[in-house]
Every structure is written in C-alpha cells, then in structure tokens.
Amino acid sequence: MNPRTRNAIIVLAALVAVVVVAVFASHRGSTALPVKIQRLTYSTFTVKLPENGTIMHPQTATVPALVAGNLDHIYVKAGERVSRGQLLATLDNPTLMYNAESSRADYGNAVANVTTARINERNARVTYQAAVATQKSNLDEAQRVYLADVALLKEKAIARNQVDADKAKYDQALVAYNQAVEQLKLGAVSGYGQDSVQAAKANAQKAQIVNDQNQQQLDYTRIVAPFDGIIQTVAAESGDPLRSLQPGDAVSAGQALFTMASSTNFIVKAQVDEQDIINVRVGQPVNVTGQDFPGKTLHGHVAALSPVAQKSTDASSTAMQVLTTIELDESPSFLRDGMTADVDILTTDMPHALAIPNDAITTEKGTSYVYVVRGGVAKKTPIKLGKAGDATTLVTSGLAVGDEIVAQKSLDLTDGAAVTPLPSASPSASPAT
C-alpha cells in the first residue's frame, strides 16, 4: 500500500472515531436519569415512639367535710389558686363547740387536781416524818433512862423492879418508833392517806385525751386546703346540681365539698406496649401534640415507668402495657385535665449525626448500599447502618459529610448510570442539600 493510500485510511478512521464518540456522547447525555440528589451534612437524628396519652394534674384530691353541720361560709370558688392550710369553708355545729368548751374546762380542773394532790402529799409526808422524829426522840429518852437504871442497879442504888419498868417503857418506845418508820414507808407508796398524785395524773391524762378529741372535732368545722393547688369544683346542692352549696345548707360527715388539683405542671399518662418498653427510660425527651391544641408542640420528659405491666385497655388486644408518666416542661393556660394527646417519646435523640433518607437505601442479600453521585455518574457504594427512624437511618461507615447521594428509590438506576439532578421545588433551594 502506497503512503498516500495509507494516510487516507488513517484520516478516514480518525473521522469515524470522532463521529462515534460524538454520537455516544450525544446518546449518553440524552439518557441521563433525573433523580433527587442530596448532599450529606450532620443533622439531628431522632427515633420516635408514638403513643396516645391523657393530660392530667399530677395530684388531685377530694376535700370532704369530716364532721356534720350547717355550712357557715365558703371562702373560695372554682378556678382559684390556694395555698396549703388556707381556709376554704367553715361549718356551724353548736354541739361540737359545747363539747370542746366543756372538755377544756374538765382538763383544766384535772390539771389543777394534780397540783393539789402534790401539795397534800407533801403535807402528809411532813406529818409522817414528824411522827417518826417524835417517836425517835421518845425512844432515845427511854433508852437513856433504861441504861442509867442498869448502871444504878450495878451499884445497888436502885431496885430491880424500877429497872424492869423502865425496860418496858424502852421496849414500848422502840415498837412505836418502828411503827412510825413503817407508816412513813407505806405512806410513800399509798400517798400518805391522801388522793395520790399518780391517780390525779391518770385523771388528767384521761381528760386531756377527751379534750384533744373534742378540740379536733371542733377544728374539723374549718375546712382547709391539703396542699398548694387549684380549686377545680365546689359541691352543688343536692336538689340543684347547677347551684353551689349555700350558707345554712346541711352538710353530712364525709360529704365532698371541693375537688382540688396541684398547681404544678401537668403530666401525661401513656400506655407503652410491653414490646416497646425496652427502648424507654426515665429522662428521655418527649414531644406532645393534640387535636385540642392544633399547631402547638409541648415538650417534656419521661418521669416514671410503672414497675408492673397491666392488660391493655383495648378489649380486643391481649398485649400488656406499661403505664408511663411524662412531665411537661410548662403548662400553657389552654391545657385542661382529661385532654387526650399524641405522645412522641424520643428513644434516640442525637443532635450531631450522619443520617440518610430511608428511600436512598437498597438492601440485597444482607448488604445495604446507596448510589453516590460523582461527576454526574451514580456509583453503587456499600454502607453500614445504625439505628433506623421513620424517615432516616444512621450511617456508621461508607459515607462522609459532603458526599452526594441519590435520595430516592429508582428501579432504573444502575451502577455507573448517568444521572442529573431533578429541578428544585423551590427557586431558592439547591437540588443537593
């Protein structure tokens, strides 16, 4: 082949190659698949456990009348805040007042009797002690005379019958002294023949018990708040449920006069399924929403978990549930006891996490992967995943911040396929965010 022909063939081959490349490039550009592309950044990752709950006060109480009587006065009304010990109402009961005054007088008299008994006992003790002293003096004198007679008898200066007579007087004085000593000892036990102090003290203690009981009954005519809180209801008349009790109305012992709720923040009671309770612990943040307060999200935390599981309130369910108490961080004025609410317990709440949309993940034969976009080409990339949420899943390896991935499922997407970003829904939004 001559040089001219060879060169012509080379030029022709080059032209053919240029045309093929141009056709391929044109074909490739026309088949680029439009997909949603997302650039990875750190974000807050949460896993929510949705439950239903009921809003309520953490402490409620019924305040009853503890004694019977006629209503004297009501000092509060429904919706009013009260302090512990604050007077709510008073009852009129003359019998209780009389009994209290009478027992107070009886107790005072009994206390006075103790004082009198002590004085009488002291005086009696002095009398007994004086008797012992007198008999001791008589004994000493009889002994002196007798011993003197014995000495004179030795000198034959006195007759024996005189000695015997003085000896008899000495013996009588000794007996009298011993009797006085024994009476003093017995007097200390018996109260020296007077009303004993012990008996007077016993009577005073009995009078005090009766008086304390009567004073307590009288105190019960004053109805006070058992804790700081809010008056929820005031009892109505028995014949007119729309009319509150009025002064003069008869009230029986045990009759409910008020209902109260504590003035602290509301709580939410929720039933958590026994299979989910393993993921719930005290302190986890909670978001609370409800149809009764649309557009509002209340924040709180798990405050307590019941130590026992109980049967579901749903009659058609055989599952067991655990009562969970959620404390709200604040209690807006629109909340009411008994409102229903939707509860989202954030069992996972990571403020600095790398998470990707669940739609971006494909799993085949136990291996998960995504399509990473580089230079307009989707590259199939294996990844390892962590916890999964409703919309996103944690990535533990295989991706990094700044990577761009296909954030949607696509049956047409293959490894190495050309892709192009879908148009942004918003003029100010970037297709890769």
> Do residue 211 and residue 117 come from a single domain?
yes
Question: How far is Cα 301 from Cα 346, in angstroms, rounded to an integer?
Answer: 9
pLDDT, residue 131, reads 82
pTM score of the predicted model: 0.57
Q: Is residue 173 part of a domain?
A: yes
Residue 219 has pLDDT above 90, yes or no: yes
> Do residue 135 and residue 114 come from a single domain?
yes
Q: Is residue 382 part of a domain?
A: no
Return the ∠ at Cα 118 (arms to 113 and 119), rounded to 5°.
Answer: 100
pLDDT, residue 329, reads 94
> Do residue 229 and residue 201 come from a single domain?
no
Nearest residue to 212 via CA among 107, 312, 283 = 107
Question: How far is Cα 208 from Cα 117, in angstroms, rounded to an integer?
Answer: 18
> Do residue 169 and residue 233 come from a single domain?
no
> Do residue 110 and residue 142 come from a single domain?
yes
Q: What is the mean pLDDT of residues 209-225?
A: 96
pLDDT, residue 17, reads 52
Backbone angles phi, psi at 109, to 5 degrees: -65, -40
The CATH number assigned to the domain holding 137 equals 1.10.287.470
Nearest residue to 146 via CA among 176, 160, 166 = 166
> Do residue 111 and residue 199 come from a single domain?
yes
Question: How far is Cα 76 from Cα 235, in angstroms, rounded to an integer?
Answer: 12
Backbone angles phi, psi at 28, to 5 degrees: -65, -45
Q: Is residue 170 part of a domain?
A: yes
Question: How far is Cα 414 from Cα 316, in angstroms, rounded to an integer?
Answer: 47
> Do residue 158 and residue 101 come from a single domain?
yes
pLDDT, residue 195, reads 60
pLDDT digits (tens, 9 = 90+) for 31-45: 889 999 999 999 999
Q: Which of 149-153, 187-191, 311-315, 322-326 is modeled with the greatest confidence?
A: 322-326
pLDDT, residue 409, reads 86
> Do residue 242 and residue 274 come from a single domain?
no
Q: For the chain, what is the domain count?
A: 3
**Helix 160-190 and helix 94-154: axis angle, to 10°?**
160
Quote the tokens at residue 248: 């003069």
> Do residue 257 and residue 273 come from a single domain?
no
Q: Is residue 73 part of a domain?
A: yes
Q: What mean pLDDT, rounded, does the chain reach?
A: 86
DSSP per residue, 157-209: -S-HHHHHHHHHHHHHHHHHHHHHHHHHHHHHHHTTTS--HHHHHHHHHHHHH
Of the two residues 398 and 424, the one the predictor is more confident about is 398
Q: Is residue 13 part of a domain?
A: no
> Do residue 104 and residue 210 come from a single domain?
yes
284-297 burial string, b = 16+ CB within 10 Å, else e?
A: bbbbbebeebeeee
> Do residue 181 and residue 103 come from a single domain?
yes
Q: Is residue 356 part of a domain?
A: no
The CATH number assigned to the domain holding 66 equals 2.40.50.100
Q: Is residue 353 part of a domain?
A: no
Residue 214 has pLDDT above 60, yes or no: yes
Question: How far is Cα 377 from Cα 381, in angstroms, rounded to an integer?
Answer: 12
Q: Is residue 432 part of a domain?
A: no
If pLDDT is split at 50, 70 and 90, which confidence band does 176 have? confident
> Do residue 143 and residue 237 come from a single domain?
no
If pLDDT is split at 50, 70 and 90, which confidence band does 21 have? very low
pLDDT digits (tens, 9 = 90+) for 52-109: 999 999 989 999 999 999 999 999 999 899 999 999 999 999 999 999 999 999 999 9
Nearest residue to 253 via CA among 68, 48, 380 = 68
If pLDDT is split at 50, 70 and 90, which confidence band does 433 have? very low
If pLDDT is split at 50, 70 and 90, which confidence band does 24 have? very low
Of the two residues 326 and 409, the one the predictor is more confident about is 326
Residue 130 structural domain: 96-216
